[in-house]
Every structure is written in structure tokens, then in C-alpha cells.
Structure 1
């Protein structure tokens, strides 16, 4: 009979098992390296976005993109830095402590006119939220009723458009500067109040004023649509890191779409941040804010519109020039550099 001896069979089996173990270990190690968090984190590009105000659902798209891992999907390790109390977004962008910032279009134009070489890379807000609110029970039913009346307005950064609105419609009213609250209006110290429809309008409603008693003049509906929030970076950063800018805008757009789909989750996260910062947090207020933002930020066919309307930009420049806030006629194409079309 022909065949192999038991000793030789045993040697071959041991050699085969040893080889198989080595190959399996190598494949397992290679697979672990491919999915290793440390390896994944190494390829993420860290950037800071400075928001121009404190945590609230006005910025829900950014927070949602962060907590849902959307920024990471685009290869970004994003730090969100709220400002507006002890520091401001413009200063962080100037110093390089932030690569991106949000800001109102009119305020960014002023900074550009002063010499800050920034670029608007995405106009997230498409409709101005600025309004003047009055009460029917106090005789404010139509625009002409504002004649001879006092209107509460914030001290800094919001006067130009409401003033242009009054001038355009020949309304002789006076502005009363306030710090931030709507208390003077609620107590009858003024006849009307400049508000953002996603914020101070809600404060008035939640103070006990019936919505059907409020007469609201939406400035955008009177031919003066200067949208607010946009995403900015410096011209230098854009020229060196256009790919990062594009990825950041795309991820943020996805964050907004996700926030509108899952409003409750977005609201609760913003409330958590507000409480952590020691700020008052009201679920109903933040939910109404996010719902209002959905009307301001235009999502069409599952896509976010981040373009800047040329006429709105030119209107903003003209309003600021007429008010003496800027000296130069700023060109649309030098200011707006979209990274996503």
C-alpha cells in the first residue's frame, strides 16, 4: 500500500494551521486599521465656525450637522463657537481663531467697506426677518398709523433698513433706542417695536399678547428685502482652501435640511446648549423660531438655496450708503464668491 506516514500528516497540518492563523491575523489587523477612529480622525480637517450670536435654533443647521456627523462625513472636524456677549464673530475671523463666521449681510458689507477682505461664500437666509410690530388695541392697524409714533429699536446695527422703510413710505415716526428687551413696548412706553419674526416677535407673543392683536409690517414685503444670515471667510482662506469651503457649505446645507426634518431633536439640542451656557431656554419659543427659519431659509426639492440675489445686495449697499454707514460702492462679484452652485 502507498501513502504518507502519520508523522508527516501531523507536520503538514500544523504548518497549514500556522499559515492560516498568520493570514487571518494580518487581514484582521488591516481591517481594524481601516476603521480605526484614530486613523479616521487623522484625516479630518479642523475648522472653527464663529456664530454671530448665542445658541438658539436660528443656527440649528450648524448644530445638527455637528451632532449628526454630517461635518465628519465631509471630512471636517468642526468646532462651533457662539459669540455676541464677550466677543464677536468678526474679531475671531480677523485673528484667524475662526475660519468661518456667520453674519448679517448689511453688517458684513460694513466690515468689507472698512477694509476687511472677506468673502460671502453662501447666503443661507433668503428673506429678511426684520419687521415692525404694533398692536391693534393701541390703534396700529395700517402703515399710516405709525405717523407721529415712537418705535423701539436696538441700539446697534438694525436702524438703517427700518429707517429706509419709513422714508420710502413717508412715515414720520421716531426711533427710541433700547438694549435688547421688548419690555418698553409691552409697558406702553413706545407704540411699536422693531423685531425679528423668529425671535422678538415670539417674545411678545409669549408675554401674553394675542397674535390676532398684533399688526406686523414685514419690511421684505414692502420692497426692501435685505436678507440677513450668511457664511463668510477671508479672501485669503478661500483662495487657499476652496475645497474645504465647499465641503463646509454642503455639510451645513445638509444640516439645515435635517434640522427641518427633525425639528424636535434640533430644538432639544439647542435648549441643552442654552441651559449649559446659563441662559433661559423655552421650548415653545425655540420651536417657533425654527419654524420661522424654515420660511427664511429656502429649501426647494431637497436642496438649500445659498445664492445671493443681486438686487437685494445692491439694495443693501444703497441703503447703507444713504445712511452714511459705508463710503464705497461695493461690487456684487467682488463680495459674493459662491462655492456651491
Structure 2
């Protein structure tokens, strides 16, 4: 029987519509597939376990800045900067949060890593004491001080070089070898009058010491003008993936911009990824980051800015004051320009 009614014609039209819709959906799916395929996996390793000072990286993740650049970024913890350097060199991580002095101190072992942006414009190294207690507030007070650190670390050598810069006899510093995890408890128990820690540790030290005020002698406030933690990757990765690195840097620096302008929100974002952290400590650490991440150069030229002259000063300081294994690195070997955003990302 032939169908000649309007109902049958309507069914025919609907059937054709369904076919066309299916074809259209297939076309959209096929067009969408390459976009998803272009999203690039990137493994980024920190300089230590995740702490409040690392909130800017998680802000870049949580706010979708990496996704906007087509990057699927995984943030990895490390056992320390030396571990981060090894992980990037070996390919375990693609990009790392690399301390420039530590990179120089690694000598030829770190020669493959290139710095493309500097986050810590000022070194975060502190000599922490207590008030009441040793209460160190100026370099001359470092003479004859017992200093809790590690004899295998280069930080005592930095402090000693800093003492000489400020006219203090470095031979009088008495370095007490203390495991990293035990330094704050020993300071709190008055078993050692001073310890080395990054300035961002102040909120945690303040909570551990209830009967005194922690005092940080920030070396960069008294003439130690060197770079510290930065974005680094290998020469090979840079050569093969220059656009990926540029996109990563741009997204990361947006995270730094936003986090430093909104510490409390940054804390709430980070605890979504690292639930064990205290959001109050995170926010306080982010506030402290401003002291070492925002300088007049950053206010003028944007986050991540690198001066070759200051990079040379950083490298020379380390090469001249620390025992370097193997071949000594130069600033030209370490730094690779051209990976910062064309439009500077300025502090808010």
C-alpha cells in the first residue's frame, strides 16, 4: 500500500530530519576531536612537598588558566630542589620549580636545565631566631652564632658569604648539623638559638613557638641580591616544545598574579587539591610571597622578568662561594630568553 496521507509525508520529513541531525552531530564530533587531541599533558614538579607558598600554581590550575592554553598540567611534589632538578633532567617531569642557586651548585649535573622565568626575585633565605632569645635583627649579630642547618647544604656557605659582605668574620659562625624536620622543634625548645628556613615558614614557626616571637633576618634585605626559584626545563624540551613552554609560563604567571592579589581565595583553591593544608597558613604564606616576588622590576616589567646582569650576579655569587662539583655553569648557559608573555603580566 502506498502512503499518500499528510501523516505519512510528515513521517518521511521527520525521518529525513533525523538523518540530517545525525550527520550534523557526527560532523561536530569529528570537528571537536582534534581540539581535544591538541590538549597537551605537562608534568610540573615543585621544589618540595606542596605547601602554602605553592598556591599560585594551584590557582593557575583551579582557575583554568592552563586549560585555556590547551595544557593538561599535573603538579608533582618533590623531596627538595635537588630532587626537582634530577626529575626534570631525567624526564620524570617536563618543567620544574627550580632554585637558581641550587642549580648552579649542582654544577655539570644541572647543565641541561634552562631557566625561562624567575618567580622569586629576591632570595627567601632567612636566619630565624626568637625574641626573647638571640633576636638577630642585623648582620653584625651573626658573629659567634650557633646556626642550625645542614653541613651537606650550601646554605651555611651562603650565610657565611653574606657575613663577609657585611664585614662580619664568617669563621665565627658555628654550624650545627640538624635534620630539616627537626629544626623548628629544636628552635622552639631553645636547643639551638637560630635555624635556616625560607621566609615563608614564618607562619608555621609562629604557631610552633607560643612563648616568643620568631624573627627573620632576610638576607636579601641586607645586600644579598640574587635570584632564587624559577621556571626551568631542559634544552631538549625547549627545542621540541617552545610553544608549550610559552603557554605554560603565561598561564602560570596569571596564577601568580591572581594568587598574590587574592591570598584567601588562593588558599581555598589550593585546599581543593591538597586537603591536608591549613588555609590560614596558606593565605599567610601567599602574603609573604609578595615580599620576594613583587619588586620594582616586576611592577614595571611583569612577573617572571629576568635580568641577565642579575642572573650573572647570582651565578657568580654561587661559583665564588660554594664548592661546585664538575664544570661550573655560566649565566648564559642557564638562562634562555624569549619565553615570557609578549604582554607583561603585572601585579594587580
Range class of TM-score, shorter chain: 0.7 to 0.9
- Segments of structure 2 that go 5 or more residues without pairing to the other structure are 342-348
Deviates more, 1:108-117 or 1:231-240: 108-117
- Does the 8 Å CA contact 1:129/1:218 hold for their aligned counterparts? yes
Residue of structure 1 equivalent to 2:123: 128
Name the SS for the 2:249 alignment partner. helix
| Cα distance change, pair 18–302 in 1 and its aligned pair in 2 (3 A) | farther
Task: Using structure 2 for the length normalisation, give the TM-score.
Answer: 0.81
- Does the 8 Å CA contact 2:117/2:305 hold for their aligned counterparts? yes
CA distance in 1, matches of 2:31, 2:301: 32
Which of 53, 59, 64 is equivalent to 1:69? 64
- Does the 8 Å CA contact 2:149/2:156 hold for their aligned counterparts? yes
Residue of structure 1 equivalent to 2:221: 221
Residue of structure 2 equivalent to 1:250: 250
Residue 152, structure 1, aligned to residue 153, structure 2: no
Residue of structure 2 equivalent to 1:305: 303
Q: CA deviation at 1:303?
A: 7.9
- Segments of structure 1 that go 5 or more residues without pairing to the other structure are 1-5
Q: CA deviation at 1:119?
A: 0.7
* Count of residue pairs brought into register by the alignment: 327
Deviates more, 1:313-322 or 1:99-108: 313-322
Aligned-pair Cα RMSD in Å = 3.1
Residue 24, structure 1, aligned to residue 26, structure 2: no
Per-residue CA distance 1:98-146 (angstroms, 9 max, x = gap): 1111121111123353363111111111111112233342353543333
CA distance in 1, matches of 2:195, 2:217: 10
Residue of structure 2 equivalent to 1:295: 291
Name the SS for the 2:187 alignment partner. helix
Residue of structure 1 equivalent to 2:317: 319
| Cα distance change, pair 58–154 in 1 and its aligned pair in 2 (3 A) | farther
Which of 184, 195, 198 is equivalent to 1:196? 198
CA distance in 1, matches of 2:340, 2:134: 47
- Does the 8 Å CA contact 1:257/1:302 hold for their aligned counterparts? no
CA distance in 2, matches of 1:9, 1:102: 71
Residue of structure 1 equivalent to 2:48: 53
- Does the 8 Å CA contact 2:123/2:219 hold for their aligned counterparts? yes
CA distance in 1, matches of 2:70, 2:189: 51
CA distance in 1, matches of 2:270, 2:5: 71
- Does the 8 Å CA contact 1:56/1:271 hold for their aligned counterparts? no
Q: CA deviation at 1:272?
A: 5.3
Q: How does 1:102-141 map to 2 (within 5 A)?
A: 102-114=97-109, 116-138=111-133, 140=135, 141=137
Q: How does 1:228-239 map to 2 (within 5 A)?
A: 228-239=228-239
Residue of structure 2 equivalent to 1:3: none
Task: Using structure 1 for the length normalisation, give the TM-score.
Answer: 0.83
| Cα distance change, pair 238–33 in 1 and its aligned pair in 2 (3 A) | same
